[in-house]
Amino acid sequence: MSRRRIGASLRYILPIAEAPDSDPHVVPTLDSHEIPEGFCDIVGRGRMGEALATALAEAGLAVRGPFGRGADGAGAAVVLLCVPDREIGAAAAMIRPDVVLGHVSASAPLDLLAPHERFVLHPLLSVVGSGARFAGAYCAIDGSSARAAAIARALGERLGMRVRVIGPADRALYHAAASAASNFLVTVEGLAERLAGQVGLDRAALTPLVRATVENWAAAGARGALTGPVARGDEETVSRQRAAVAEAAPDLLPLWDALVTGTRQLAASAPRDRTS
């Protein structure tokens, strides 16, 4: 199949494969479904908009954009809004009513896109530029109709993503999990980077440790990956660390204390044969 960003309207037949298991979050089996004839427009020129426009075009879809806010989707079959949550409603109101409309927010209500036939497609990964690789990551979808959900699934699968349905009741908790896994992790690494800087180390010195820790967590889970003085009950070392943080960066102490408390709670449910 030839790859084109813009040009004459193209038709793509995208099969909806059988769900691989009985998980209720897997998109149910549907008959073969086609993305409607026409363009897929991307609205929003931020990181996600740039990344999705590039990736979907490389996957062979007829993509236009990313456009700035105010685009109306004229001539498009599908429009995907990649704008901040607070701007979804206003951006949706500009889109022609005959378009199937989606957004990429993790937790924003699908009803913000009403009265359009609508869907959500949220890639579960951190996107920092147009070269983002979506293949292999999970994405959360939902739709106002079977057709809208199937379009969301087809788009996700075109990107090589693993698709799961996350309904309205679960979306905020899903987003909280994503924030903890990504945003809060960066906050903790910011703390580590600042403390390391006090002894002449930059973040490159910590990077192998961070990568190994994440790999251990991926393989063994939180309890299995937990190491360090809190995990092994070495309160003398924990006290020395706290005193050092209090002296070098007292403003970080509330965060440090909260992390120690959380780590103690995790360690209490973890195996007790810690030696590192």
Q: What angle do CA 139, 145, 150 make, to 5 degrees?
A: 45
Cis amide linkage into residue 115, ω under 30° from 0: yes
pLDDT recorded at residue 132: 87
Q: Long-range contacts for 220-227 (Cβ within 8 Å, ≥24 apart)?
A: 222/266, 223/266, 223/269, 223/270, 223/271, 224/270, 224/271, 226/263, 226/266, 226/267, 226/270, 226/274, 227/274, 227/276
Compute and round to an integer the Cα radius of gyration of the chain. Answer: 23
Cβ atoms of 77 and 99 within 8 Å: the answer is yes
Q: Which residues of 217-241 are buried (b: 16+ CB within 10 A; e: fewer)?
A: eeeeeeeebbeebbbbeeeeebeeb
Per-residue pLDDT at 148 = 96
For residue 142, what are the contacts with CB-CB under 8 A and spacing of at least 6? 110, 119, 120, 149, 152, 165, 166, 167, 168, 171
| DSSP character string of 102-116 | EE--SSS-GGGGTTS
Ordered per-residue pLDDT tens for the chain, 276 residues: 333 333 332 323 333 333 334 444 544 434 334 577 789 999 999 999 999 999 999 999 999 999 998 899 999 999 999 999 999 999 999 999 999 999 999 999 999 999 999 999 999 998 877 778 999 999 999 999 999 999 999 999 999 999 999 999 999 999 999 999 999 999 999 999 999 999 999 999 999 999 999 999 999 999 999 999 999 999 999 999 999 999 999 999 999 999 999 999 999 984 544 444
- Cα separation, 225 vs 214, in Å, equals 8
Going by C-alpha positions, the residue among 16, 12, 10, 118 that lies closest to residue 64 is 10
